[in-house]
Each structure stands twice: as structure tokens, then as C-alpha cells.
Amino acid sequence: MLESSLTERQLITQFLDALRELPEVHADLDHLEPIGSTADRRHDAQIDLQVAGKSFILLVEAKKAVYPRDVRQMIWQLREASYGRLRGHGKEPLSLLVAESISPGAKELLRDEHVGYYDSAGSMYLPAPGAYFYIDKPPPKTLAKSVRSLFSGRRAQVLHAVLAQHQDWFGVKELAQRAMVSPATASQVLTELERFDWLVSRGQGPSKERHLREPAALLDAWVKQLASIRPANLRRYYVPGTKADQLLERVGEVFDAHEAGYAISHEAAAQRYSPFLSGVSQVRARLLSGSNADAAMGELGARVVDEGANLAIIEAKSPGDLLFRERVGGIWLASPVQVYLDLLRGEGRSKEMAEHLRKERIGF
């Protein structure tokens, strides 16, 4: 049940209005279960539905938010209600879930099981015998905002850590240390990932461990959020006196000499991980801001330019921005996952390079 009867009534009323706008559909609310009524209660509302002259009974379960983890138990409960309580009433019973928000993965599971749903954004799936309605709309703002926040800031560091050790089992404290976040933040992110059914767990209490069983699904979800996440600031420079094929080594040598924290990303990093292009004309790097970075840029003789840049710097505000970098050929490269996400924001053949990197180096 929802936390308040007002929210429940609003959702069911909105669903009724949406049904009545469909062609050859008549829908009437038979009854709405009162809050606190638990005796033989197996659904929240019952709707009499007529579609093109055929009569059905909709048994509605109302929820606040629904994720894949919730769906399997809900399906069993809805079917028990439809096949048990209304058997012999002469009308076809149909189960349907109404919720303020239903995640895309949960919707897919419900469709696979032919269980209807409706959310506050107006998405609807109603598989009635002899009648089929499917309306797909963008998720409600509440769900979109919640998902978007998962892929930014310190929460993104946790996701990065989970993907970096996707083959391992891990505890909250261990994960928090690897991600450079508090145990509370790590725990919150893991709870969200469990809702999407991307994790499996074992043990209980402080010894509980998780394992990422769906790394590809998590990475795909991150990709979908890129357009809504503000990119980091990028400053363009020209480093004189260095040929394009020697610039990467020169940058790495100078940054190391000044102990400036950095990680090469984009095409230059992808080329090191898994060659794809004949050559790379620009080096892009995350650089931890501070006096060491300033001294290194000064030794390079880098000057700010609007055009003709051969070095681009992405400001790293904390060591968490350099998580899981790898030393390859004497150069610090951003993690393959970070390079992949950066390439997808790029231009030219960067997206092709991203898919090549994912296939050859990331592997999921």
C-alpha cells in the first residue's frame, strides 16, 4: 500500500481517467479498499472494465515505487488475487499494478509475465484477451531524478568501484574504502542497485557481502544517464615543441616529475589500452588541481588556446576523480570504464573507439 490514502486515490483516479480516454473502453471503480482493512484483502481497488463489448475485472495493487527486485513477489500476489478471489464471477480477472514510478527494468519484467501496469507519467500496459494497450512515456520526474543522482558525485564513485571489481564479492566497508566514500554512502548505493536486481548477496549483518551479477546492465544504465549529467570543465592548451606522437610520453614524464596526480583519458588512453586509430593528435587528461599541477603545466610551456589545442585538461577536484587508474607503459591511464564513458561524450570516431574498447578491454 502507499503511504497515504490521498496518493493512492489520486493514482487510481488518474488511471481511471486514462482508461476512459482509450477507444471503446468503459471503466468504473467498483470499490476501493479502505486504509487499514486487512481482512481477506488481496488488492487495493477493483475496476469494472469493458473493452469492445468484452467485460473484465481489474484487480489493482497500488505502490509508491517499483523496481525489478519487487516485481517477482508482486506477480505472485496479483495472480493469487485474480485466480482465487474472483473465480466463478463470470468476468475475466486481470491483475494490474498502479504506481507513482516503475523502473524500466520492472516494466520489462511485468510485460514478460503479461501483468498490466500504469505509472503517474502515463505509461500503461494492459494485456486483456482480445484487447491490447501499450503506452510508453518518459519516467516520472521523481524516478528520473533519483536515478540520475545515482550516477553522479560520490555515488558514482561507488558504482565505479563496483564495476572495477565486478568479479568479486565485497562488503560495505571494503567497498567504501575502495570508492573513497563513507560506509553510509556505499550502503545507500548498494540498496539502490539491489532494487534494480543487479546484485546478489550472501550472509547477514556486518558480514553480508554482495556481488554484481549484471555489470553490463549497470554500465548500460550509466551510459543512458550521460546526457543528463553535466560534463566536467575542460581547458584547452597548446604545448609547443613536441610532436603529436611524443606528447603523451612528455606529459606523463613531466606530471610524474612534479608528482601531479593525473590520469590520461579519451582517445590517447583508449589507444594505449586497445589500439584502434592510426594516430591521436590530442591528449586529454584529468589533472588534480594544486601547486604541483601548476608547476607541471608551467614546465610544459602550455598556453591556453581556443583553437589548435593538443592538450586538454579536465579538472580533478579530489583523488576520487582518479579512481582505478592503471599504469600502462609508464603512463597513468584512467580506468577503462572511465575512458569508455568519456569517449561516448566525444566527437568524430570516439564512439566507435568506445565500443571497440568495451569489447576488447572491458569485456561486458
Please enumerate, as own/partner, the contacts of 248-257 that have beta carbons within 8 Å and a separation of 24 or more.
248/272, 248/280, 248/283, 248/331, 249/330, 249/331, 250/300, 251/283, 251/285, 251/300, 251/311, 252/330, 252/331, 252/332, 254/296, 254/299, 254/300, 255/285, 255/287, 255/293, 255/296, 255/332, 257/296, 257/299
Query: Phi, psi at residue 189, to the nearest 5°?
Result: -65, -40
Question: Given the DSSP bridges, would you call strands 234-238 and 25-32 parallel, antiparallel or unpaired?
Answer: unpaired
Give the per-residue pLDDT at 277: 86
Bigger pLDDT: 2 vs 17 = 17
Which amino acid belongs to residue 57?
I
Element (H, E) at 259: none
Question: How buried is residue 320: exposed, middle or buried, by Cβ count under 10 Å (0-12/13-18/19+)?
Answer: middle
Among 50-59, 83-92, 230-239, 248-257, the minimum mean pLDDT is found in: 83-92
Identify which has the larger pLDDT, 36 or 231: 231
The residue ranking higher by pLDDT, 25 or 336, is: 336
| Residue range 267-301, pLDDT digits in tens | 999 999 999 988 888 999 999 999 999 999 999 99
CA pair distance 315, 358, nearest whole angstrom: 25
Q: Mean pLDDT, to the nearest integer, of 319-331? A: 94
DSSP track, 303-321 = EE-SSS-SEEEEEE-SGGG
Whether 68 shows a pLDDT value over 50: the answer reads yes
Q: Does residue 84 surpass a pLDDT of 70?
A: no
pLDDT tier, 144 (very low <50, low <70, confident <90, very high otherwise):
low
Banded model confidence at residue 6, pLDDT cuts 50, 70, 90: very low
pLDDT-derived band at 204, boundaries 50, 70, 90? confident
Among 7-16, 248-257, 324-333, where is mean pLDDT lowest?
7-16
The residues near 184 (Cβ < 8 Å, ≥ 6 apart) are: none
Distance CA 93, CA 81 (A): 9
Encode 196-228: b = buried (16+ Cβ within 10 Å), e = exposed.
Answer: bbbbeeeeeeeeeebebebbebbbebbeebeee
User: Is residue 134 pLDDT above 60, yes or no?
Assistant: yes
pLDDT at 35: 43
Q: State yes or no: pLDDT of 191 exceeds 50.
A: yes
Q: What is the rounded average pLDDT of the residues 37-65? A: 78
pLDDT at 146 over 70: no
Q: Is 92's pLDDT higher than 80?
A: no
Structure confidence at residue 1 (pLDDT): 41
- Cα–Cα distances in Å, from 27 out to 13, 53, 205, 324? 11, 12, 48, 56
Q: Model's pTM, two decimal places?
A: 0.72
Phi, psi of 36 (to 5 degrees): 90, -10
HSE value, Cβ hemisphere, 13 Å, CA-based, for 37: 12
Position with higher pLDDT, 314 vs 232: 314
Give the confidence band of 117 by pLDDT, cuts at 50, 70, 90.
Answer: very high
Query: Is 90 exceeded by the pLDDT of residue 169?
Result: yes
Residue 101 near residue 66 (C-beta atoms within 8 A): yes
8 A C-beta contact, residue 311 and residue 283: yes
